[in-house]
Amino acid sequence: MQKNGELSQDKAITSIRLDSEEIDLFCDEPLIVGEVTSYADSVEEVDKLLRKVSVVRNKYGKEPVRKILIISSVKEEIAGLIADKAKKSGIELIMGKRR
């Protein structure tokens, strides 16, 4: 993100805790929220990210410019459902192996 100019050199993507939510990928300017998981077998991972986005939105008073979900491997039968829900929710989805 720094190489393509989306993130200035003085900013970094980190993990933080806001309220009771652990946010895996976070930057305050531009506002970025993301979730990283090794395996998903339900659309719960999308719901979890949306819950974290809500916490950030309430804290910062604005919508994140990027919502990112990274899943290393996903159950084959639900990969399409996850992709559909992510797309409808404006989430950038990176999925690895389907099992």
Residue 6 within a domain:
no
The pLDDT, as a whole number, for residue 11 is: 80
The pLDDT value given to residue 1: 72
In which domain, by residue range, is 80 found?
14-32+42-98
The verdict on residue 9 lying in a domain is no
**Structurally, how many domains does the chain consist of?**
1
Has residue 50 been placed in a domain?
A: yes
Residue-level pLDDT at 13: 87
Task: Tell me if 57 sits within 8 A of 63, measured CB to CB.
Answer: yes
Task: Report residue 10's pLDDT band, with 50, 70 and 90 as the boundaries.
Answer: confident
Residue 7 reports pLDDT greater than 80: no
- Smallest Cα–Cα separation from 60: which of 90, 93, 33, 99? 33
> What confidence category does residue 9 fall into, taking pLDDT thresholds of 50, 70 and 90?
confident
Express each pLDDT in 39-80 by its tens digit.
Answer: 999 999 999 999 999 999 999 999 999 999 999 999 999 999
